Amino acid sequence: MSTPAATPDFGASATGTAGSAEAARMIPDLWWLWLVTGVAWIIAALVILQFDEPSITTVGVIVGLMFIFVAVQQFVAAAVTDSMRWLWIGFGVLFLVAGVVALVNPADTFAGLADILGFVFGLLGVWWIIRAFLERAEDSLWWLTLIVGILLIVMAFWTSGQLFIQKAYTLLVFAGVMALAHGVGDIVRAFQVRALRDRL
């Protein structure tokens, strides 16, 4: 007595996962996007770390572009994830607004960021800690993100008592180091995604 051959279920459950499966197949092919953004972050870091006090306006523009790049990455993450999409979109909107404001008036933006540097460090630290736990299942280097978040919280308390000129130089160094760290992280992630593509 033969048993009937199993037939695939093309009902609602199958159609519900079709989009997720297609997105999962597309992501490894886009590994080069992480590589391009990583190189862009490193170039931005090298430019920022060469600037001195007369270059405040240019640094403000670069900080604005950095916010916009982060916003785009948050929107891409929201497009490819199945859970917590509202969180990625919310942070993407915040970073986009910050980037536009920085580009409209870069000198004042730089001065404002330097003046509230402790708050900026605290906000970024909280975001990096949240991001570390959100990416823990997919990213083997999630603990690096967690360490950076904790260090940012520590820096938030440390910079709160500094004078403005010290905060301005600290912001220059911070922007350069963060861009460099982000770039290296994106390049590492690019090759992780490429390795995943080669295994599939």
Sketch the domain layout of the chain as residue ranges. 30-55+106-199
Residue 50 or residue 159, greater confidence: 159
Higher-confidence position of 44 and 187: 187
pLDDT single digits (tens) 70-111 = 899 888 888 887 777 888 889 899 999 988 988 898 888 888
pLDDT at 137 over 50: yes
Q: For residue range 161-180, what is the model confidence (pLDDT) as tens digits? A: 777 777 877 877 877 887 88
Task: Report the predicted TM-score, pTM, of the whole model to 2 decimal places.
Answer: 0.57
Q: Could you give the CA distance from residue 103 to residue 22 in angstroms, rounded to a whole number?
A: 37
pLDDT for residue 20 is more than 70: no
| pLDDT above 70 (res 3) | no
Quickly list DSSP for 30-54. Answer: THHHHHHHHHHHHHHHHHHTT--GG
